[in-house]
Amino acid sequence: MRITALETVRSEVQPNVCQVLVHTSDELHGLGETFWGAEAVEAYLHESVAPVLLGLEDPAPERVAGLLAPYVGFGGSGAETRGNGAVDIALWDLLGKRAGLPVTALLGGPAQESLRVYNTCAGTGYIRDEGRQSSANWGLPEESDRYEDLEAFLHRPGELTRSLLDEGITAMKVWPFDSAAERTGGLHVSPADIRQGMKVLEEIRGAAGDRMDILVELHGLWSVKAAVEILTALEDIEPFWVEDPLRPDGIDGYRSLRARTSVPIATGETLAGRRAFKPLLESGAIDVALIDISWTGGLTEARKVAALADTYGVAVAPHDCTGPVSFATTVQFIASQPNGLIAETVRAFHHSWYGLMAEGLPVPVDGWVAPTTAPGLGVALRTEHLEAAGTTRRTSRSTAGG
């Protein structure tokens, strides 16, 4: 088997998604995906990765990961790492198809037959129109509908909570302090800001009691002083975790937080690889390591991060507020990991654009999701998505015959 083509797919449905198809001489293909800066990733893949991959015989993921290790960009989750991550995912999908096994089995699992999910309370247009994580890119609609969960948590948190419970979802993630961080640069949080954010969380707790676990996202926007004040206020609602109170590379800051609060802390989604996670894990300051599989370099690297975290007695939970292929990858991965804690899902995405792009996705039911048993990732891009007028496809091909 030889790699004959590398194809990228971008769509106006979600411009931040870049999907990758690795085609082979035996007429199979592997499917991967990454998120953020899709055009930059596309350019990198065709300029730098295609010359390495095309014509390569029997492309084992571990071998290719070594070949694609970038000379620059290796220290973070930039375009090189994200592009390599998407290719690595595609190679695992391809390996599963050749073996007739799901990726979970290739990774040694399942360690878990079914996974609890939490709902990230985004809406259908979340992080779509700009390449920034900010309120300007929240995609809030003029009119709400059933699954516009971001608008709902901001204005109707109790109603949203009851809606999720009705679907069997018992964990939800919200970010009610972000607007305050944008006003102050994260350097200061006023008592009024804390009260406003706490009002959302208290309404959730009031609607659900102990039936709902609350995950509070802070998006790495805060100074240590402000983060301590927020986490102290959060102690009374007993959050499942507080996510990214600081940037994940702020190791000393996390040590300071751990010394001053008992609230569970989760972070790491923007870190790339085990070398970036190691000092964070060594600090003893976090309870959950968040891994974005494509941003960390793919399944090949993600499994090493998970094993490293397990060495420190730390659970892992993949970041997955991204695309449909990434969701399928996350479920396959976390089911294979003994320290896999919980799976992220966005019901707004499942009920809108995920289904326009892909088929064969695992489906959350009653707050749980199981990996599919089809070979590879078990997911395929829809023909309608590939042929849509708003889809951009670019292919680099091998010049060799066969």
**Residues 386, 98: Cα–Cα separation, whole Å:** 23
Was domain 2-100+381-397 assigned CATH 1.10.150.530? no
- pLDDT of amino acid 134: 75
Rounded Cα distance between 88 and 64, Å, is 8
Indicate the SS3 state at residue 255.
helix
Q: Is the predicted pLDDT of residue 237 greater than 50, yes or no? A: yes
pLDDT digits (tens, 9 = 90+) for 337-368: 999 999 999 999 999 999 999 999 999 999 99
Mean pLDDT of the chain: 95
More confident residue, 1 or 386: 386
Tens of pLDDT, residue by residue over 38-52, are 999 999 999 999 999
Q: Say how far apart CA 38 and CA 44 lie, in whole Å.
A: 10
Residues 99-109 pLDDT 10s: 999 999 999 99
Model pTM score: 0.96
Cβ pair 237, 202 in contact under 8 A: yes
> Domain coordinates of the chain in residue numbers?
2-100+381-397, 105-376
Asked whether residue 174 carries a pLDDT value surpassing 80, the answer given is: yes
For 231-258, what is the mean pLDDT?
Answer: 96
pLDDT at 400 over 70: no
229's tokens: 């004040």
Is 105-376 the same fold as 2-100+381-397?
Answer: no
- Segment 127-157, tens digit of pLDDT: 887 666 778 778 877 777 789 999 999 999 9
Among candidates 332, 345, 343, 337, which has minimal Cα distance to 379? 332
Q: What is the pLDDT of residue 402?
A: 46
Q: Are the beta carbons of 37 and 16 closer than 8 angstroms? A: yes
Q: Distance (Å, rounded) from C-alpha 241 to C-alpha 189?
A: 20
Please identify, in words, the CATH class of the domain defined by 105-376: alpha beta
Q: How far apart are the first and last CA of the chain?
A: 10
In the predicted model, what is the mean pLDDT of residues 190-198?
Answer: 97
Q: How far is CA 173 from CA 73, 113, 170, 199, in A?
A: 31, 24, 11, 15
What is the pLDDT at residue 132?
Answer: 67
pLDDT band at 89 (very low <50, low <70, confident <90, very high): very high
pLDDT tens by residue, 274-285: 999 999 999 999
φ, ψ at 360 (rounded to 5°): 85, 10
